Amino acid sequence: MGSRVEILNEGGFRSDGRRQYELRDMTIDLSQQGSADGSAVVTHGLTQVLVSVFGPREAKMRSQTIHDRANINVEVNVAAFSTGERRRRTRGDKRILELAATIKSTFEPVVQTNLYPRSQIDVFVQVLQQDGGLLQACINGTTLALVNAGIPLLDFVCAVTGGVHETAPMLDLTLLEENDTPNVTVAVMPKTGKVTLVTMETRLHVDRFEKIFRLAGDAGKVIHGEMKSAVKTRTSALVTAMGSGPRVGAGDAADRDADERMNEY
């Protein structure tokens, strides 16, 4: 039986007007959210997440204390209004626990946890809207919130979904496309080119996988550019605000400081 929804029309356009390899609009807000040490609101199209980072701080439970590095604790909460589903997902929901575990395992090799022995870094992910690419939004938001909190990372982690409709590879899938096509989420570290995550919930032919894997890696570099630009803008604004009001050359100094910080990545 054919799909009820046309994923790709004859002109090669998708249901939201994008071409196969086009990414959705991405917006990034790094302004302070509550008492978090670092936060980020990230949207990919209509998917939106808020990630708040607290720490490094003393671990609340002795059982969670690791003597030679920090423990990364990830919790995901899905707002009841974020999806068209009637069933409300709670913190103990298997899907949400899997999402939190995936985020944790993705960032454990990237965060320099050895700098903070016997401490805890808490990452709270609030899903505000869902329209496909939820894992990619959570990972990109977590990278930005950790950077915003000043926690040293070996590199950015940049994620994107890819799928195949019949024989046509597509990037950055909407929920409609995810439900109808075999898909994969790939997270890359742009500086080293290393892949930190590949996750598939559907079967995908090995020949198709290689192409979509390469495309997703290239798309990760594009997303990295957006993320890096947002961090630089935020850092420049903070450096300027820390000075005694605007003065001649202050903007240049802020840009220099922002560039120095960004050179770490």
Q: What pLDDT is stored for residue 62 in this prediction?
A: 83
Q: What pLDDT is stored for residue 3 in this prediction?
A: 47
158, two tokens: 């940049």
pLDDT > 60? residue 248: no
pLDDT > 70? residue 245: no
pLDDT > 90? residue 206: no
* Mean pLDDT over each residue of the chain, to the nearest integer: 87
Mean pLDDT score, 253-259: 51
Question: What is the pLDDT confidence band of residue 157, given thresholds at 50, 70 and 90?
Answer: very high
**Phi/psi class of residue 34: alpha, beta or left (left: φ > 0; alpha: ψ in -120 to 50)?**
left
Amino acid identity for residue 162 in this structure: G
Q: What pLDDT is stored for residue 110 in this prediction?
A: 96
Q: What pLDDT is stored for residue 192 in this prediction?
A: 87
Contact 121, 55 (CB under 8 A): yes
227-230-232 Cα angle (round to 5): 110
Q: What percent of the chain has pLDDT over 70?
A: 86
Q: What pLDDT is stored for residue 15 in this prediction?
A: 87
Question: What is the pLDDT confidence band of residue 74, given thresholds at 50, 70 and 90?
Answer: very high
**Phi/psi class of residue 65: alpha, beta or left (left: φ > 0; alpha: ψ in -120 to 50)?**
beta
pLDDT in tens, 26-62: 999 999 889 999 999 999 999 999 999 999 999 888 8
What architecture is domain 26-263?
A: 2-Layer Sandwich (3.30)
Q: What pLDDT is stored for residue 246 in this prediction?
A: 47
Please report the DSSP string for 55-79 in residue order: EEEE-SSGGG--TTSPEEEEEEEE-
Mean pLDDT score, 101-120: 96
Q: What pLDDT is stored for residue 140 in this prediction?
A: 98
Mean pLDDT score, 174-192: 92
pLDDT > 90? residue 70: yes
**Domain boundary assignment for the chain:** 26-263
Answer whether 0.85 is exceeded by the pTM: yes
Cα–Cα dist 257/262, whole Å? 9
pLDDT > 70? residue 90: no
pLDDT > 60? residue 251: no
Question: What is the pLDDT confidence band of residue 5, given thresholds at 50, 70 and 90?
Answer: low
Question: What is the pLDDT confidence band of residue 225, given thresholds at 50, 70 and 90?
Answer: very high
Question: What is the pLDDT confidence band of residue 174, given thresholds at 50, 70 and 90?
Answer: very high
Residue predicted with more confidence, 221 or 206: 221
Taking residue 11's Cβ as centre, other Cβ atoms within 10 Å add up to 6
